A and B are shown apart, each in its own frame.
Chain A
Amino acid sequence: SYVLTQPPSVSVAPGQTAWISCGGNNIGSKSVHWYKQEPGQAPLLVVYDDSGRPSGIPERFSGSNSGNTATLTISRVEAGDEADYYCQVWDGNSDHYVFGTGTKVTVL
C-alpha cells in the first residue's frame, strides 16, 4: 500500500515560515491534500489538489508538490497555527484514502 511520511515535529518562531514535508513514491504524480487539526478538534481542510485553498483559509497557507515530496508552507506563522498537520492522497491502485503520519507544528 502507498505510504506517506511526514516529520514528527516542526518548530517555528512567530512571523517566520514553516515548511511541512510529505514524502511518498512519485507523489508528484498525485494530488495532495492537507488538513490542520488543533487539539481536541476535528481536522480542517486547508489545502486541496496540491495548492488550492478552500474558502476561508488564509493565503498564508500554500502547497507545492514535485518528485517524491509535497510541501505545505505556512507563511507569517501565528500562534493559532500551532496544530497537527496531515497530508493525504487518494491511492488509485487501491481506491483508498491514505493519510500521512502527521506533523506537530509548535510555535515558539
Chain B
Amino acid sequence: QVQLVQSGSELKKPGASVKVSCKASGYTFTSYAMNWVRQAPGQGLEWMGWINTDTGNPTYAQGFTGRFVFSLDTSVSTAYLQISSLEAEDTAVYYCARGRHSARSTWFLDYWGQGTLVTVSS
C-alpha cells in the first residue's frame, strides 16, 4: 500500500534552518510528482509547490521562493523540504502529498504524509 512517512516535529529558533523528510513506499517513487502543502495553525491548506521526482526539477508557488528548497534522494525514495532563515510565521504543519494526473487532465493529491509540525520560537 502507498505510504508517505514524514519526519518528526521540529522546534527551531528564528534564523535557523530545518529539513523535513518524506519517505515514500508502496509505489515507484519516480513515477509520481511530490507536492508540499503548508497549514498554519488554525488556517487552511496552502500549496507550496512540487518537485518532479524523475528529473528533480522543482516548481515553487508564489510566496515560497528563496528560502524554500525541494530536493530528492531517489535511492531511498525520499523527498525533502528545507526552509532557511526561519521566521515565526513559518510555524505550521508541513505535508508532503503525491500528485496524481487525472483522466480529465488535471491534478489532485491522492496520498498524503502525516504532517510535520515545525515550530519557530525563541
Question: B99 — nearest CB in chain A belongs to which residue?
Answer: A97
Whether B45 and A86, one on each chain, are in contact in the complex, defined by CB atoms closer than 8 angstroms, is yes
Q: Which of B47, B95, B103, B110 contacts A54 (CB 8 A)?
A: B110
How far apart sit A100 and B43, CA to CA, in the bound complex (Å)? 11
Whether A88 and B108, one on each chain, are in contact in the complex, defined by CB atoms closer than 8 angstroms, is yes
Closest Cβ of chain A: how far from B42's Cβ, in Å?
Answer: 11
Q: Sort chain A's interface into a size bin.
A: 20 to 34
Q: Which of A42, A48, A98, A99 contacts B102 (CB 8 A)?
A: A48
- List residues 71-92 of chain A with CB under 8 A from any CB of chain B: 86, 88-90, 92
CB-CB < 8 A to B110: which residues of A?
A: 45, 48, 54
Whether A43 and B112, one on each chain, are in contact in the complex, defined by CB atoms closer than 8 angstroms, is yes
Whether A42 and B115, one on each chain, are in contact in the complex, defined by CB atoms closer than 8 angstroms, is yes
Given the known inter-chain contacts A42-B115, A43-B95, please indicate yes or no for A96 contacting B47, CB distance below 8 A.
Answer: yes
Closest Cβ of chain B: how far from A29's Cβ, in Å?
Answer: 11
Chain B interface, number of residues (Cβ within 8 angstroms): 24
Given the known inter-chain contacts A86-B44, A101-B44, A102-B44, please indicate yes or no for A33 contacting B112, CB distance below 8 A.
Answer: no
Closest Cβ of chain B: how far from A67's Cβ, in Å?
Answer: 18
Q: Which of A30, A31, A44 contacts B112 (CB 8 A)?
A: A44
Whether A97 and B47, one on each chain, are in contact in the complex, defined by CB atoms closer than 8 angstroms, is yes
- List residues 37-88 of chain A with CB under 8 A from any CB of chain B: 37, 42-45, 48-49, 54, 86, 88
| B residues in contact (CB < 8 Å) with A | 35, 37, 44-47, 59, 61-62, 95, 97, 100, 102-104, 106-110, 112-115
Knowing that A88-B109, A99-B45 touch, tell me 8 more A-B residue pairs with CB under 8 angstroms.
Answer: A30-B106, A31-B108, A33-B108, A42-B95, A42-B112, A45-B108, A88-B45, A99-B46
